[in-house]
């Protein structure tokens, strides 16, 4: 099991605080609280092996949704996490720079596979690396690095056999920041997550776009039928539903602003974030975290940066959050 | 993409024969045609990250269903195929003997990872191997090797750091053949597939049982949240439903006997199989395959053994199959 701290583990929260009578308000992840409605699923999607033609349709819907070229090599996996686990095998033993602080699994997975993985605070410090990994917009602080800068970095890395990994887990709420339009370019590997923006993290669906050589290797390692039939069907529907996506982007943006206001009104300092979560600082963050936990509201602490907390969007739980903040 | 031939690809069948007006009768896999009914799924299972406590419940249900010790190390994956892809990393570069002919992915995956993988016709020929892989009961011929023999082999391999991989993909229909009761024993790694017996191949759920050392490594490579929330919930329900399992075993056994009778009545020779499929020989197997395909009935040919065909159970399609066989 992973030793990286994560949000979203309600059993652990219950072990600490007990089960709240009104249920958990889980703000410990960056998952859209109003998920894409599960469409009716053909029973054949559960029964049969996943079908190649349906998978192809999913990949095409993803390319279109992300604004990637129609011929950009792309592979789907049962969750972005499994792709993150496989990436180190693309460059065994590489010198890796991870732009941090960021999502902890990147460093953990490269290190576990024997890479020399260093977390760096700026791209300048990454100059000697063969592989550069960054999350854009970043989790948890929402930092965005411009596309021009990223593509130049990918070109530079490609020229010496290296790789730029851009984890766009939250790019649906910042589409202008995405480099998906350049997918297929040498030296560039893009990760996309389905579950966060579409609010369906349980479904496990992640995608990678890159060069033919890299994507073919990932596909071979995943093997045939890596994505479940129901996930393929839900993915096709959601990735093709531009109306829902546009409305959701607007709603998330408004809700994130509302969350920021609520938190700053309660003595937090805004430290960034995205349309799916906010990072805030508070001199007594640990005490607030515990008080919220007792009230059945789970937020994300950072053991090594104890003044910070990350809040996901409360959906219809704004009033409850406001009451618990006092 | 895998180069191993498989059943179940309806798009490929349609490219060859067109789409049958009455729909496909797909007998090209070993999947139970009458699946476990999908229970109502808590929307939270789609929305949230898969929860550790629910995964734990799934693993316990699997241990009980398979007759494994309650403390047997076990890991769940999104399909057995992904486990087969990972196994070679447990013994990099090993000399591997695969008892064949059998499911093609085993040899393909070990070879792809740089192992020296030889298909052998008997366990005697496997004496020098560090890893022995076999499917029990075997696909496609249903050959069963007795538990005593297997456990002695596992002990022998363990004594020299080796590993016996027993793929029990079809063991639900031959429970007496399973070595799951010995799970945890050094040198023994057992694979179990959820989709075939429960008729839910689209869900992608596979399990491995073995020693703590092997299972921990597989779990680390899969990472957290490898199994989707809906698959966890359906798996818990189905693996715990002993009544459905017993009825299904009886029905499958009766249907397999009925299928054998139908095929031998039509000039096929029975070459073995399990309660989920039958392997038969026919001097004009290629012609029969094509005739069935034109009638919308897909069966599994074996390019390197052209006189053989494998038939899955037709469910409520016996009359249609009989008519097509002429």
Q: Do B107 and B129 touch, CB atoms closer than 8 A?
A: no
Count the helices and strands in chain B (H runs, E runs).
Answer: 11, 13
Mean pLDDT of A99-106: 96
Tokens (6 digits) for B66: 């398979």
Which residue, among B74, B223, B219, B54, has the nearest Cα to A9 in the 3D structure?
Answer: B54
What pLDDT, on a 0 to 100 scale, did the predictor assign at position B2? 47
Closest-CA distance, A227 to chain B, in angstroms, reads 7
Tokens (6 digits) for B185: 């024993």
pLDDT tens-digit map of A217-264: 999 999 999 999 999 999 999 999 999 999 999 999 999 999 999 999
Mean pLDDT of A147-173: 97
Closest-CA distance, A151 to chain B, in angstroms, reads 29
Mean pLDDT of A30-40: 97
Mean pLDDT of A87-109: 96
Q: Which residues of A touch B31 (CB under 8 A)?
A: 47-49
* Confidence class for position B3, pLDDT limits 50, 70, 90: low
When CB atoms are compared, the residue of B202, B203, B226 closest to A79 is B226
Closest-approach residue (CA) in chain B for A85: B221
Mean pLDDT (chain B, rounded)? 96
Centroid of chain to Cα B78? 14
Q: Which residues of A touch B27 (CB under 8 A)?
A: none
Rounded to 10 deg, the angle between the A10-17 and B52-66 helix axes is 110
Cβ-Cβ contacts under 8 Å between A and B: the total is 174
The ipTM is 0.96
Tell whether the model's pLDDT for residue B7 goes beyond 90.
Answer: no
Mean pLDDT of B240-263: 98
Mean pLDDT of A150-160: 97
Q: Which residues of B touch A51 (CB under 8 A)?
A: 8-11
Q: Which residues of A touch B25 (CB under 8 A)?
A: none
CB contact under 8 A, A202 and B81: no
Q: Which residues of A touch B9 (CB under 8 A)?
A: 49, 51-52
Mutate which of A58, A202, A222, A236 to disrupt the B interface (most B C-beta within 10 Å)? A202
| Kind plus residue range of the DSSP H or E element containing A98 | strand A95-99
The Cα–Cα gap between B81 and A223 comes to 7
Residue A111: phi and psi, rounded to 5, are -65, -45
Mean pLDDT (chain A, rounded)? 96
* Confidence class for position A1, pLDDT limits 50, 70, 90: very low
Strand-pairing partners, residue A312, are A277
Mean pLDDT of A183-192: 98
Residue B202 CB neighbour total at 10 angstroms: 30
Centroid of chain to Cα B290? 26
Closest-CA distance, B124 to chain A, in angstroms, reads 31
pTM of structure: 0.96
The Cα–Cα gap between B18 and A104 comes to 49
Q: Which domains does chain A have, with CATH numbers?
A: 10-35+244-325 (3.90.1150.10), 44-240 (3.40.640.10)
The Cα–Cα gap between A36 and A191 comes to 21
* Confidence class for position A3, pLDDT limits 50, 70, 90: low
Q: Which residues of A touch B34 (CB under 8 A)?
A: none
Closest-CA distance, A219 to chain B, in angstroms, reads 6
The Cα–Cα gap between B239 and B67 comes to 11
Burial (Cβ within 10 Å: 0-12, 13-18, ≥19) of residue A271 = middle
Closest-CA distance, B206 to chain A, in angstroms, reads 11
CB contact under 8 A, A52 and B201: no
Tell whether the model's pLDDT for residue A54 goes beyond 70.
Answer: yes
Closest-CA distance, B281 to chain A, in angstroms, reads 26
Q: Which residue has the tokens 């430290």?
A: A271
Question: Percentage of chain B with pLDDT > 90?
Answer: 96
From residue B34, alpha-carbon distances to B13, B22, B74, B236, B259 in Å are 22, 18, 27, 18, 15
CB contact under 8 A, A204 and B221: no
What pLDDT, on a 0 to 100 scale, did the predictor assign at position B1? 40
Q: Which residues of B touch A226 (CB under 8 A)?
A: 78-79, 81-82, 204
Mean pLDDT of B282-301: 97
**H-helix segments, chain B:** 10-17, 43-47, 52-66, 80-86, 105-112, 147-159, 212-222, 229-240, 242-265, 285-294, 318-325
Centroid of chain to Cα B262? 24
Mutate which of A11, A47, A206, A224 to disrupt the B interface (most B C-beta within 10 Å)? A47
Residue A117: phi and psi, rounded to 5, are -105, 120
Closest-approach residue (CA) in chain A for B105: A223
Tell whether the model's pLDDT for residue A132 goes beyond 70.
Answer: yes
Mutate which of A201, A225, A300, A317 to disrupt the B interface (most B C-beta within 10 Å)? A225
The Cα–Cα gap between A209 and A165 comes to 10
Mean pLDDT of B220-224: 96
pLDDT tens-digit map of B45-102: 999 999 999 999 999 999 999 999 999 999 999 999 999 999 999 999 999 999 999 9
Mean pLDDT of B295-304: 96
pLDDT tens-digit map of A279-326: 999 999 999 999 999 999 999 999 999 999 999 999 999 999 999 998
Mean pLDDT of B160-185: 97
When CB atoms are compared, the residue of B78, B82, B219 closest to A1 is B219
* Confidence class for position A151, pLDDT limits 50, 70, 90: very high
Tell whether the model's pLDDT for residue A190 goes beyond 90.
Answer: yes
Closest-approach residue (CA) in chain A for B46: A202
Mutate which of B19, B42, B47, B76 to disrupt the A interface (most A C-beta within 10 Å)? B47
Closest-CA distance, A149 to chain B, in angstroms, reads 31
């Amino acid at each position: 099991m992973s030793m990286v701290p994560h949000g979203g583990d309600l059993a652990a929260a219950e072990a600490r605080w007990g089960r709240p009578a009104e249920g958990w308000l889980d703000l410990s992840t960056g998952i859209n609280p109003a998920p894409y409605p599960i469409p009716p699923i053909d029973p054949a999607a559960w029964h049969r092996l996943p079908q190649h033609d349906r998978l192809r349709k999913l990949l095409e819907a993803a390319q279109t949704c992300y604004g990637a070229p129609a011929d950009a090599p792309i592979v789907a996996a049962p969750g972005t996490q499994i792709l993150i686990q496989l990436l180190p095998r693309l460059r065994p033993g590489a010198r890796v720079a991870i732009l941090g602080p960021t999502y902890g699994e990147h460093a953990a997975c490269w290190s576990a596979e024997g890479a020399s993985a260093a977390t760096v605070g700026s791209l300048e410090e990454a100059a000697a690396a063969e592989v550069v990994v960054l999350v854009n917009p970043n989790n948890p602080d929402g930092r965005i690095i411009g596309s021009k800068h990223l593509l130049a970095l990918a070109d530079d890395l490609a020229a010496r056999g290296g790789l730029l990994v851009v984890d766009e887990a939250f790019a649906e709420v910042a589409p202008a920041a995405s480099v998906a339009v350049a997918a297929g370019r040498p030296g560039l590997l893009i990760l996309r997550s389905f579950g966060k923006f579409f609010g369906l993290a349980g479904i496990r669906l992640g995608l990678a776009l890159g060069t033919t050589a890299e994507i073919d290797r990932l596909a071979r390692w995943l093997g045939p039928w890596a994505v479940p039939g129901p996930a393929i069907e839900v993915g096709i529907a959601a990735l093709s539903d531009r109306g829902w996506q546009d409305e959701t982007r607007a709603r998330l943006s408004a809700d994130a602003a509302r969350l920021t206001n609520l938190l700053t009104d309660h003595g937090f300092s805004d430290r960034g974030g995205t349309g799916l979560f906010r990072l805030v600082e508070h001199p007594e963050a640990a005490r607030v975290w515990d008080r919220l936990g007792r009230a059945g509201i789970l937020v994300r602490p950072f053991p090594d940066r104890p003044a910070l907390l990350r809040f996901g969007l409360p959906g219809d739980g704004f009033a409850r959050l406001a009451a618990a903040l006092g």
